[in-house]
Structure 1
């Protein structure tokens, strides 16, 4: 996983120039549509430090009630070391993670474009969709054989954002989200969040947010570029193109077709 120092998130769909070719690392190639993946901005969490201490509550001697912003306890120190206290009546919210056992995330080579297939497959596995494997998503993207899939995803640039968004909407029910609060809400409801990340080289990469700690601003992701397939990073360090909270599985002909077919050929981490 490569982290950028810039968070670019916006609730509206961001335009991508048709002539821009995004690299293989994200598995999302060029030819982007101008109406696909929303861009939103998620600010880093505010842990206090800008209220310059507490305020006199009028008692004699004065008490100190540092309640801006709410969340943590500094012991009513009128001159806390960070310059600002926090509400004594609240405790930090605990980290929020997807319930249940998480599937393994297969790692990809840094030069491959298979992240979209791996992220979608991970979501299907987490939601317990029987018969849905990586080859089904590869075939949906047009790679009908192992050789086609190898050329497209392992040594090729992978999918376009348009193809990726179409796959999300064809296989799953989802909603676009735009904040750490949204992530926290959906993860708590058992909804994995597909994150489209902009890599330092301009390429796009698909990962899945599986947990968040809003008190620290850290998120845990199933990421096919991370060692072991998972990593925990600062949300503010991610350059995010779009967030899709997956709320369920579609009940349609596409899902029926690919879950009922036989002869699956990409069920392991590698095609061959």
Structure 2
């Protein structure tokens, strides 16, 4: 397989992300400022009722929080965290374990909760007013509702990448997978939904490959081929060093034993491990 480009191990296009943040931030601030300005006027001169102004101000503030959370998730580059990589006991053997960064899971949960609460509020408000369109926000509730407990469970589950002398394990939100080193064909960087992922690809018909889907509220398809995925935003250290370490141990079987020691951790960390 061709060598992956570590620069592609990112979330989304920075230009698109900045455009999204700026546009939503401007609209949110505009709505918040307009509603607060109306509240400052005498009640008789307002174009909106007091209730509508308060609702609009609340919506603008929440909208601004969502825009800020989007920036935090897609544009903020956190510093490397060497402490998240350690040598631990994993499945009965010593291995190098990288605990995933979790911010990229929390932001969608926050947005889903906001959308659900707004839709619930809209449903109740319209139903109380005997508005014929009360069922429209209810559709949103029914669509988004099942994903909220799903996201909560995902955010609570421990996720990690394990490099042991025997093979590679990934414990992610969807399930747990395993590949022996001898069944690893290569590494690729692929686009998977909203993220780029580092994909550890197994040989066709890899005998060691296994994937156990975790219990979920919403059904999610298991990988169709022997591979293990680590989302780009989950890396707590430079992805390039992790990719290079995996490639090294795939090529050099005699070196795999060091994954049970600090030597393996230092290789995964790259310059941070020196």
**TM-score, L = length of structure 2:** 0.26
Higher helix share: 2
Greater RCO (CA < 8 Å, at least 6 residues apart): 1
Indicate the structure (1 or 2) with the bigger Cα radius of gyration.
Answer: 2
